[in-house]
Amino acid sequence: MNITFLGTSSGVPTLTRNVSSLALKLSQTAEVWLFDCGEGTQHQIMKSNIKSSQIKKIFITHMHGDHIYGLPGLLATLGLSGNSNGIEIYGPSELKSFVTSALQNSFCKLAFPLHFVEVEDFAAFNKILFENEKLEVQCGCLKHRLPAYGYRVSEKDKPGIFDIKKAEDLNIPAGPIYSELQAGKTVKLKDGRSFNGKDFCGPPRKGKSFVYCTDTVFSESAVDLSKNADLLVHESTFSKEDEKMAYEKLHSTTIMAAKTALLSNAKKLIITHFSPRYTQKSSIKPSDLLKEAQKIFPNTFLAKDFLTLEIK
């Protein structure tokens, strides 16, 4: 899996940062999953290495405009291009009426189906939001001025590394049989010999996990959702000096984000969703935000628009 930041500003766009959006590209397929879709997201996609035609799922954290205003436009563009076979949209229960109303009132008819999934019950009762043979998605309640939800994408454990030399030494013919053995299956050859795939594979490889938390003040549910994550992307709207404002607006400071990573035993933290008040010309710069977080959680990095990295 790898991620691309499409927007890292909070509230309003700036000259260097668009509002919230992040693309997750799955290594197992050609699919792209979008997390939030602020105004201008489709322009950001066009400037990135992401193909909009590969978007299959969209996860929305909450109903504030800087996280959803780009969604109707993106869907309309996908409809005009004719490259989509359908999209699943996950988010608060109000999301469906917002999207359908925007499309209907602008006389936009999509040539592909939209499937909406309301996440409230999944978050409240800790139920799996989506699952297939390779991936699992969970969501959790965050703490904001209106209902907000964080998302966790976890790869399921992968088979151990296949010992090709051992198979070759036993004169097992290459091809589909190797795939079956790597999957741990027992295969029987035409010559009557039988082999157990587990004898050819090393220990299972732990799947990677990614967590996306915005918007929220510090919350235990975010810590729970982020337990042992390989990568935590967490909002850091405010500096520690503006902690009072963070509590008033129910956003996180750099310290809150770092504390979440520390308590959850996450491997890496990337902070994002920065207030436009912090610029290279202000008394508190983005680099200062990074230093604040690193004092609590050293393996912290600063998000910027179009930053792309592999989840390791």
Structure confidence at residue 179 (pLDDT): 87
CATH number of 132's domain:
3.60.15.10
- The verdict on 71 and 168 lying in the same domain is no
Going by C-beta distance under 8 Å and a sequence separation of 6 or more, which residues neighbour residue 269? 231, 232, 233, 234, 257, 258, 260, 261, 293, 297, 299, 300, 301
- Position 28 pLDDT exceeds 80: no
What is the rounded average pLDDT of the residues 45-53? 95
Q: State whether 70 and 152 are in the same domain.
A: yes
- 170 and 153, same structural domain? no
- Asked if 235 and 62 touch (Cβ cutoff 8 Å), the reply is no
The whole-number pLDDT of residue 70 equals 98
SS3 106: coil
pLDDT digits (tens, 9 = 90+) for 198-212: 899 888 888 999 999
% of the chain surpassing 90 pLDDT:
87
Number of domains in the chain: 2
Contact (CB, 8 A) for 36 and 65 = no
Residue 238, phi then psi, degrees to nearest 5: -125, 155
Catalytic amino acids? Answer: 66
The verdict on 270 and 298 lying in the same domain is yes
Provide the residue range defining the domain that includes 169.
Answer: 164-200
- The model's pLDDT over 284-304, given as tens digits with 9 standing for 90+, comes to 999 999 999 999 999 999 999
Q: What pLDDT is recorded for position 80?
A: 87
206 Cβ partners below 8 Å, 6+ apart?
A: 157, 158
pLDDT, tens digit (0-9, with 9 covering 90-100), for 112-168: 999 999 999 999 999 999 999 899 999 999 999 999 999 999 999 887 889 999 999
* Pair (25, 113) in one structural domain: yes
Residue 84, pLDDT above cutoff 80: no
Among 200, 225, 253, give the residue marking a domain's end: 200
Q: How many helices (H) and strands (E) does the chain have?
A: 11, 16
- Order of strands, sheet of 55-59, starting from the edge strand that comes earlier in the sequence: 114-118, 87-91, 55-59, 32-37, 21-25, 2-7, 308-310
- Same domain? For 243 and 257 the reply is yes
Residue 270's pLDDT band, with cuts at 50, 70 and 90, is very high
- Angstrom CA distances, 216 to 42, 87, 232, 298, stand at 25, 27, 14, 22
Looking at the fold, whether 149 and 216 belong to one and the same domain comes out as yes
User: Which pLDDT value is given to residue 85?
Assistant: 82
Last residue of a domain, one of 200, 228, 255: 200
Answer yes or no: do 231 and 278 share one domain: yes
CA distance linking residue 33 with residue 287, whole number of Å: 29
* Per-residue confidence (pLDDT) for residue 161, from 0 to 100: 87
Q: Same domain for 234 and 133? A: yes
Average predicted confidence (pLDDT) for the chain: 95
Let me know whether 149 and 287 are in one domain: yes
Please tell me whether residues 145 and 191 are part of one structural domain.
Answer: no
Of 145, 178, 200, the one marking the end of a domain is: 200
Find, among 97, 142, 133, the residue nearest to 118 by Cα.
Answer: 97
Range 231-256 average pLDDT:
98
Whether residues 136 and 232 share a domain: the answer is: yes
- Contacts (Cβ under 8 Å, ≥6 apart) of 283: none
Structure confidence at residue 285 (pLDDT) = 96
